[in-house]
């Protein structure tokens, strides 16, 4: 499994309503991407500290699917519209389904943490697995992914939620406007070992 994400910060006057209408119209085109586990179309309006952001999040069962996608006409269309993004990738530390796995998620929260050179990676991975397990038991959680970028030394925790995440949820909260997912994704989950 591999997680992949790219994103676009959009101007303050960008027509977010038009993007909200467009995403559900195009989402089903991605339902059958080879090797795809899921694609979450994430969107957040600007806040006092963060700009408007559109940022699809992918989980690939087959990493070759990710390479195939970024060299496809669909990705070329993304580049033509928004410019070539930096594509980030994370290998899984944990991926678990929560109590709302049978329901379509409507929100996501994402938290990114830089890992200083002094980080005990063995302990941090164990702590992240424990945190993912605890989160996976939270009402309203569809699924939890925690991954490691060993090039940029960054941890990514992405949680998909059926409804609005609870107050105090770590990281930025996004609307999840469409979930592309092959059959069976919502009812199965695994805990990956680092």
Give the model confidence (pLDDT) of 171-191 as tens digits: 999 999 999 987 555 433 333
Number of domains in the chain: 1
Q: Decide if 104 is inside a domain.
A: yes
Q: Decide if 192 is inside a domain.
A: no
**Cα–Cα distance between 159 and 182 in angstroms, integer?**
19
Share of residues in the chain with pLDDT > 90 (%): 81
Q: Decide if 194 is inside a domain.
A: no
Q: Decide if 75 is inside a domain.
A: yes
**Does 192 score more than 50 pLDDT?**
no
Give the model confidence (pLDDT) of 1-16 as tens digits: 999 999 999 999 999 9
User: For residue 167, which phi and psi values (nearest 5 degrees)?
Assistant: -55, 140
- Please, which pLDDT band fits residue 81 given cuts at 50, 70 and 90? confident
Q: Does the reported pTM lie above 0.85? A: yes
Range of the domain at 26: 2-187
**Cα–Cα distance between 76 and 178 in angstroms, integer?**
20
Q: Decide if 92 is inside a domain.
A: yes
- Closest by CA to 178, choosing from 41, 61, 81, is 41
Give the model confidence (pLDDT) of 113-146 as tens digits: 999 999 999 999 999 999 999 999 999 999 999 9
Question: What CATH number is given to the structural domain containing 11?
Answer: 3.30.70.100
- Closest by CA to 35, choosing from 58, 6, 7, 5, is 58
Q: Decide if 193 is inside a domain.
A: no
HEC sequence for 38-59: EEEEEEECCCCCCCEEECCEEE
Mean pLDDT of 32-54: 93
Q: Decide if 148 is inside a domain.
A: yes
């Amino acid at each position: 499994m591999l997680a992949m994400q790219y994103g676009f910060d959009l101007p303050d006057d960008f027509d977010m309503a038009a993007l909200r209408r467009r995403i559900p119209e195009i989402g089903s085109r991605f339902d059958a991407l080879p090797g795809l586990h899921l694609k979450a179309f994430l969107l957040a309006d600007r806040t006092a500290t963060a700009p408007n952001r559109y940022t699809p999040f992918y989980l690939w069962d087959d990493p070759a699917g990710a390479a195939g996608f970024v060299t496809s006409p669909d990705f070329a269309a993304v580049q033509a519209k928004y410019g070539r993004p930096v594509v980030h990738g994370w290998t899984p530390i944990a991926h678990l389904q929560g109590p709302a796995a049978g329901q379509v998620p409507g929100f996501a929260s994402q938290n990114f943490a830089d890992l200083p050179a002094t980080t005990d990676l063995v302990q941090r991975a164990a702590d992240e697995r424990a945190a993912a397990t605890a989160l996976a038991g939270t009402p309203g959680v569809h699924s939890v992914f925690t991954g490691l970028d060993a090039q940029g030394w960054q941890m990514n925790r992405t949680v998909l939620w059926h409804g609005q995440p609870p107050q105090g949820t770590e990281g930025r909260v996004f609307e999840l406007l469409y979930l592309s997912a092959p059959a069976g994704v919502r009812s199965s989950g695994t805990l990956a070992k680092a």
